[in-house]
Structure 1
Amino acid sequence: MPDASTPEIRTLWRAFVPRWAHMPVSGEGPARFGGRWNPVGAPALYAACELSTAWAEYNQGFVQHPALIAQLELSYANLADLLDVTVQERLSVDPAIHRCEWRAVLDLGRTPEAHLLRQRLISAGFDGVVYPSYMSPGGHCVALWRWNGEGQPTLRVIDPDERLPKTPASWL
């Protein structure tokens, strides 16, 4: 059952590879490579609740790569707030899921707990999750599985001066 405490409008931040500036709300990268909250082949959009968290998550503690950082506005999403202990208990979520080494689990040919939980939450009507940042202690992230489709939450980039390109032509 969706979490009624989810705000109607939420500001998010997304840091991503500048080459994809024309697709600021695409989930194609995570679909291609998989992620903590999505298996390969399943689109997802990862964003942060704080600008500094978006930067930390993008770089994953490695070399500081060039990034484009966009502010996003998410409207009317049913998010499972896994920061809330009562939500974790209600959904039978072990808090250890936030420390799971999901890549290592995949390398062993197994399905990470977060992927199993994702499927359960989608079936229960959730559009995504709010979870603690692994790379920025105290920061919070959002993973979306459904957005901008019919009957789905709306996610839009904040670009009042329309500075983002509309096509990949700037990279040719």
Structure 2
Amino acid sequence: MRFHGTLYRALNPIYAREPMSGRGAEIYGGRFNRKGVPALYLSLSVMTALREANQVGSLQPTTLVSYEAHIEHVFDTRDGAALKSEGMNPSTLADPTWRDQMKATGEAKTQTFARRLAMAGYHGLLVKSFAPGAGEDDFNLVLWTWSDTPPSRLTLIDDENRLSR
């Protein structure tokens, strides 16, 4: 599928000056990227982005940014047949033990799935949010490939250059 639209990300202020880097995910690993692999975890709504960034405890200081996205090759996890053809299912996507798997084997099942998709030419995947409080309509777009040019164009919306100040 293609994704064209606005995406949101709630950043730890430590990374606010690098909103295009994917560095945090690269350092720590994420549900859909192993350590050492940069990824951008973006949300389709502001509230989903805030939930994703503040999953533990009270709301912490957060920098909210938005992007205009034109991503051509996105795997849509809502397509059950496509998901099954890739050897994946919704319960494995949602499995909260992915961090334990990563520690035990070096790569969680969801990270292996994502690595295979990236090798097959997908720039990212559309997936339900698993953050506490997320509803059935809360989705994220996880990108492994992005740039300022097609076919995976992602543009930070900062017309007033606020992040450079």
Asked whether the two chains share a fold, i.e. TM above 0.5, the reply is: yes
SS of the residue 1:143 aligns to:
strand
Whole-angstrom distance in 1 between the partners of 2:154 and 2:38 = 14
The alpha carbon displacement at 1:82 in A equals 0.5
- Compared CA separation, residues 62 and 141, structure 1 to 2 (3 A): same
Partner of 1:102: 98
Is 1:144 aligned to 2:140, yes or no? no
Is 1:16 aligned to 2:4, yes or no? no
Match of 1:114 among 100, 110, 114: 110
1:105 corresponds to which letter in structure 2?
A: Q
Runs of 4+, deviation exceeding 6 Å: none
Whole-angstrom distance in 2 between the partners of 1:21 and 1:80 = 28
Partner of 2:157: 158
1:93 corresponds to which letter in structure 2?
A: M
Could you list the runs of 5+ residues in structure 2 that have no partner in the other structure? Answer: none
Partner of 1:81: 76
Deviations 1:137-161 (A, max 9, x none): 2210111111117765111111122
The alpha carbon displacement at 1:111 in A equals 2.5
Deviations 1:73-115 (A, max 9, x none): 1113311011222332343322222222201212323531111
The alignment covers a number of residue pairs equal to 161
Question: Identity rate of aligned residues, in percent?
Answer: 28
Partner of 2:30: 35
Contact 2:70–2:150, Cα closer than 8 Å, also in 1: no
Could you list the runs of 5+ residues in structure 1 that have no partner in the other structure? Answer: none
Contact 1:146–1:152, Cα closer than 8 Å, also in 2: no
Match of 1:129 among 101, 117, 125: 125
Between stretches 48-57 and 59-68, larger displacement belongs to 59-68
Q: Between Structure 1 and Structure 2, whose CA radius of gyration is higher? A: 1
1:54 corresponds to which letter in structure 2?
A: A
Whole-angstrom distance in 2 between the partners of 1:104 and 1:137 = 25
SS of the residue 2:121 aligns to:
coil
Give the TM-score normalised by structure 1.
0.85
Whole-angstrom distance in 2 between the partners of 1:152 and 1:77 = 5
Q: What is the root-mean-square deviation in Å for CA atoms of aligned residues?
A: 1.8
Whole-angstrom distance in 2 between the partners of 1:109 and 1:123 = 20
Whole-angstrom distance in 2 between the partners of 1:74 and 1:29 = 20
Between stretches 35-44 and 86-95, larger displacement belongs to 86-95
- Compared CA separation, residues 45 and 161, structure 1 to 2 (3 A): same
